Structure 1
């Protein structure tokens, strides 16, 4: 298939160094594995050559990129402010200022204990009594990359724990600030994971560190100002498990959570006993996942336990705190509803779940004798509703968030007893945006095995078919691609592009079985579902192969890499962001970041020959063939610790070598970024404009 981009013939040529590996009697020669050594100047030089090649082949899009950036900027209220959330004696909020890359974290005092109405302040106006807690623009000065990890204020409001990463490698430096004086304390903790939890007395902070494979494996307690070595609170030796630490909304308990892909365990400790011993709520059992929330029901302390024991889509039990195993069913298992979370407040319980591939919430009023959940409903066919930030256990009203593909995000306050909804804020979209000009609806493709695949289709109402089309998918880790509003997407829609998400197996949209049928030895369903979705969109007249671009990122990059091997003829372009396209090499090496914990998702090819052969049969890198590939844009980051830049670099080298077509295969490497790409909102808008301009060209929506 031809491309509108210039010829690929001047692509950098990577040298070949035969490096062999043998597993289960199979010997593989990997001629581009040498690209893994980013300390090798030759590797950096090769990446920079690829960047120059990409810049050359996208230079004709410079004007369009500028237009797209300006459109994003013009639709965004650059000086803005979040709705303040009450915590203790303060209203907490963040604000942005025109021209500044990062948000400023602030607070102002409440007027009184019965003050539950957030201060009505226009963005850019002075806030009475404002105190700046952290200005990320100041913190980021002198750095090409900046990411804020922990941001946690002690219960008494006097101290701030915050952490920053200035390279993109997700190892943070934890610092402490006295909010009464504005002074930084002498305490500094290096190489932490991105989080911090205070004890009730404000004298201790719990945090995590990661092992050599970037797995959070240890919880520590830092005794503020003590000058003593930090205490190891918990260490998890099993490489399959991630460790997290936090507190309940009630502030009564601290909790350590352990989770592999299929098994979990929770340890608990009273928050007013921070130097005590954490105790296990329910011992881990292979294949059983559970989470714990603290609630007070009919005056008694209870643990709400969300679990999947004999409940594929999860159920909720309520149990005495001193006997968690003796629970009674609160919410029964339902094969049509995937329960995802339960949150407790002083007067309400909130159940978060999904049905028919959409997220929903239901609320129970604890002032009533029986616990009965009532769903919060909205009229839009495709929308997302969920619990918003509600830091106060005893708040009289609940904040919920609502959005759709065409409706800007809304923050609402819900009075549970009356059902009244109070709009606190609607995301501003400047420039006269009219939602009525756009439409989103659900259609269903049919997979090869007869499974119905939900598609979310978004377009301007005046678009004529067939149209330029961007097909997006993910399909891993039970992650769901839910309806959400995007300012940047408007620039694509207004140029006639139809945006489609295919909710393929491996995701969580249709329940746990949807996930289970797209992982390990059923992983290929993820790829064929995407191909079948693309074919459906062509057959239904939505688009043509010459107008269709496929896109995926991270594990979705694995998806899109496998798809372009299976059906390159269906696409005129492929975007692969931080793509996991060399999975077999990575999963075979336990020393690489996050490999062992991934075995429950993909299988263990080291130990299992069947898994090895199956992964090898779909791995994008292993299966690059001599075929007419469409234009491909791969984007990666040098400091990414989740999906190493090596995967994209090797994949592109092999694609450039083997493609029989003339469409350029491009690699763009961010040299100062991590898994999430560049930092700073203006830099991120520039990156979005770069990707979208390329997509617009490849769909034929524009002809620069």
Structure 2
């Protein structure tokens, strides 16, 4: 399986270069290399490459290594980077001279990973975590003098702080937030020693993020009852007191997920009915157009690049059957230019696969979207194995993009389905609110409704399904197998948040106070206590049969501490009444994100898939693709030393939250690379 997965990976993979002034920046891998190389070359040239940071070389003496973030200075002479050397998400911040290609004397530990340059290329803003692993301080380092100053301290233990920069590079932004409330301070990037200006004081339930355009702040916000967000404008001179003007009105059920502000365009990524769309608005006349994609199930991402005064928008697009396509979209001419198509070296024809969207009815009258894919030659039926994945937390929508790794299941006859359950914003803020706090059990009931609907529609049957979720999605797995163990033959719970009640009762844990708005505060709210006690997987294990289970943990995990899944597995072993496999693997050299190297990630995925294939009886031959090929050398599924891949996007709304829905590509956590933009 590992060889099969690796055969779909282009080993010299490289990103599409992004221009910034005289240079173009990109990330690539060398054949056989585990870690990325951060590179640049002269703009418009095909040669003259400079390797700014060699991830393989830096990782050679570390059991764990991940480049969390990298940011080149505006004058393009320096590279700041944040390196995680333990998996505990406490970063070492380092500085590299790109002209001399040497490391400078910068020793900052316990960084959170945010790195933002001031406009003078001399001052670097960064965040530092406290003893409870909470991003608490924003500091500013003078690279020339070595002076280090405290810029901002977040004193509320329920809030995390981060630092960013507007697309124009005019302002450095300090963002404080919990899952429901935001406060932003701004500093002129050309005057980095200026005291931060609060744009609007924190108000419970008010969320906002800002960019700048001309004399205005452009505010992406839920102000004025805009539950699914709108876009407003406020004068830069007095944003806290002057009335905010509507730029893009709120549309109930259409979530504005992301906004990019450029010199001539306002771009927004929206989601309606669990499908994304890109809308471009010209500042000159307010004219809007939608960038359309035709697949019934797909995923789209947007990126501004480093340059503010541009007509070009970078888009990436995929569907469950279609590999990623990267486009440069000319917003003036409304023309897409294909820059890259994800290569599958072992071969892949999207026409061989069927994508579909279903809607599962629930007992309370809602319908839950399901995105699914299967091989065209594999007509689903009651004997068909099906993998159902779900997340449903923090308002994070579930992406329905391409994963080359899933082909190892689909080509063996699996249907792969993604349930867009409540708790995410797949169908708007209402969908999120109906899957949090006192309504959290809707998330689990939705997953059950999706499983039953898939069986009723003839895609599979009870006992032929596998359930998967990671982190907060692992909570879903635990709650569902407690409530309906008969539906699933096997389940995989990656770094699962399963000891919910005890965790939310302990205010000393770093993630507990910031997450009371998401789950409820059982210390002060009796109803929250009863609700959490009623679904917390650890507290509801019963003397009953359970599916085959694979459970993972990471010893350095700061988000889901390793003893949570260990306690859950111990209680399951004590009470369950079956002889099914129950495996626990604790990674002793990684944290919440699992292995960092790209091939190490493939080994994790291979074991997870071997576990599923073994239990569901699909190990012998490929049903499609390479006909008659035998799966050999599959790891013993009883082994205790492995854990499956558990990628998460993390929650952009709360930097401290547990990892988001699994990356649709199954890849390692993406490297954050910044230049002047964000």
Above 0.5 in TM-score? yes
Among 595, 600, 603, the alignment partner of 2:512 is 595
Matched, 1:152 2:71: yes
SS at structure 2 position matched to 1:145: coil
Contact map agreement 1:217 1:237 (CA 8 A) in 2: yes
Q: Name 2:158's counterpart in structure 1.
A: 240
Q: Which moved more, 1:85-94 or 1:496-505?
A: 85-94
Q: Name 1:253's counterpart in structure 2.
A: 171
Q: Name 2:62's counterpart in structure 1.
A: 143
Distance between the aligned counterparts of 2:68 and 2:26, measured in 1? 17
Matched, 1:192 2:111: yes
- The residue correspondences of 1:380-399 to structure 2 (distance < 5 A) are 380-399=295-314
Among 552, 557, 576, the alignment partner of 1:635 is 552
Instruction: Using the TM superposition, give the Cα deviation of residue 372 of structure 1 relative to its aligned residue in structure 2, in angstroms.
Output: 2.4
SS at structure 2 position matched to 1:194: strand
Among 32, 36, 49, the alignment partner of 1:130 is 49
SS at structure 2 position matched to 1:76: coil
Instruction: Using the TM superposition, give the Cα deviation of residue 389 of structure 1 relative to its aligned residue in structure 2, in angstroms.
Output: 5.0
Q: Name 2:657's counterpart in structure 1.
A: none
- The residue correspondences of 1:538-617 to structure 2 (distance < 5 A) are 538-617=455-534
Structure 1 residues 150-207: Cα deviation after superposition (integer angstroms, max 9, x where no partner): 3011000011111211111111111111111112111211111112111110111110
Q: Name 2:185's counterpart in structure 1.
A: 267
SS at structure 2 position matched to 1:80: coil
SS at structure 2 position matched to 1:688: helix
SS at structure 1 position matched to 2:5: helix
Q: Name 1:320's counterpart in structure 2.
A: 235
Contact map agreement 2:299 2:401 (CA 8 A) in 1: yes
Contact map agreement 1:549 1:698 (CA 8 A) in 2: no
Q: Name 1:96's counterpart in structure 2.
A: 29
SS at structure 2 position matched to 1:186: coil
Contact map agreement 1:253 1:270 (CA 8 A) in 2: yes
- The residue correspondences of 1:322-337 to structure 2 (distance < 5 A) are 322-324=237-239, 325-337=242-254
- The residue correspondences of 1:382-461 to structure 2 (distance < 5 A) are 382-461=297-376
Q: Name 2:394's counterpart in structure 1.
A: 477
Distance between the aligned counterparts of 2:556 and 2:92, measured in 1? 17
Instruction: Using the TM superposition, give the Cα deviation of residue 211 of structure 1 relative to its aligned residue in structure 2, in angstroms.
Output: 2.0
Structure of greater Rg: 1
Contact map agreement 1:521 1:611 (CA 8 A) in 2: yes
Contact map agreement 1:546 1:699 (CA 8 A) in 2: no
Q: Name 2:607's counterpart in structure 1.
A: 690
Matched, 1:304 2:218: yes
Structure 1 residues 625-669: Cα deviation after superposition (integer angstroms, max 9, x where no partner): 100111110011111110011111000011011110110211011
Contact map agreement 2:95 2:104 (CA 8 A) in 1: yes
Contact map agreement 1:359 1:482 (CA 8 A) in 2: no
Q: Name 2:662's counterpart in structure 1.
A: none
SS at structure 1 position matched to 2:121: coil
Distance between the aligned counterparts of 2:517 and 2:119, measured in 1? 36
Contact map agreement 2:253 2:429 (CA 8 A) in 1: no
Among 140, 144, 156, the alignment partner of 1:221 is 140
Among 579, 587, 592, the alignment partner of 1:670 is 587
Contact map agreement 1:89 1:157 (CA 8 A) in 2: no
SS at structure 2 position matched to 1:387: strand
Q: Name 1:28's counterpart in structure 2.
A: none
Q: Which runs of 5+ in 1 are unaligned?
A: 1-67, 111-117, 120-126
Contact map agreement 1:103 1:136 (CA 8 A) in 2: yes
Distance between the aligned counterparts of 2:63 and 2:103, measured in 1? 23
Distance between the aligned counterparts of 1:687 and 1:347, measured in 2? 45
Aligned-pair Cα RMSD in Å: 1.2
Q: Which runs of 5+ in 2 are unaligned?
A: 621-630, 632-678
Instruction: Using the TM superposition, give the Cα deviation of residue 303 of structure 1 relative to its aligned residue in structure 2, in angstroms.
Output: 1.0
Distance between the aligned counterparts of 1:600 and 1:393, measured in 2? 36
Distance between the aligned counterparts of 2:128 and 2:2, measured in 1? 38
Distance between the aligned counterparts of 1:551 and 1:80, measured in 2? 28
Instruction: Using the TM superposition, give the Cα deviation of residue 598 of structure 1 relative to its aligned residue in structure 2, in angstroms.
Output: 0.6
Instruction: Using the TM superposition, give the Cα deviation of residue 388 of structure 1 relative to its aligned residue in structure 2, in angstroms.
Output: 2.7
Q: Name 1:372's counterpart in structure 2.
A: 287
Q: Name 2:542's counterpart in structure 1.
A: 625
Matched, 1:208 2:122: no
Structure 1 residues 52-88: Cα deviation after superposition (integer angstroms, max 9, x where no partner): xxxxxxxxxxxxxxxx111111111101221110112
- The residue correspondences of 1:354-365 to structure 2 (distance < 5 A) are 354-365=271-282
Contact map agreement 1:346 1:394 (CA 8 A) in 2: yes
Contact map agreement 1:547 1:700 (CA 8 A) in 2: no
TM-score (normalizing by structure 1): 0.86
Q: Name 1:15's counterpart in structure 2.
A: none
Instruction: Using the TM superposition, give the Cα deviation of residue 588 of structure 1 relative to its aligned residue in structure 2, in angstroms.
Output: 0.7
Among 271, 278, 293, the alignment partner of 2:211 is 293
Distance between the aligned counterparts of 1:388 and 1:175, measured in 2? 26
Query: How many aligned residue pairs are there?
Result: 616
Contact map agreement 1:412 1:423 (CA 8 A) in 2: yes
Contact map agreement 2:311 2:332 (CA 8 A) in 1: no
Distance between the aligned counterparts of 2:582 and 2:573, measured in 1? 6
TM-score (normalizing by structure 2): 0.89
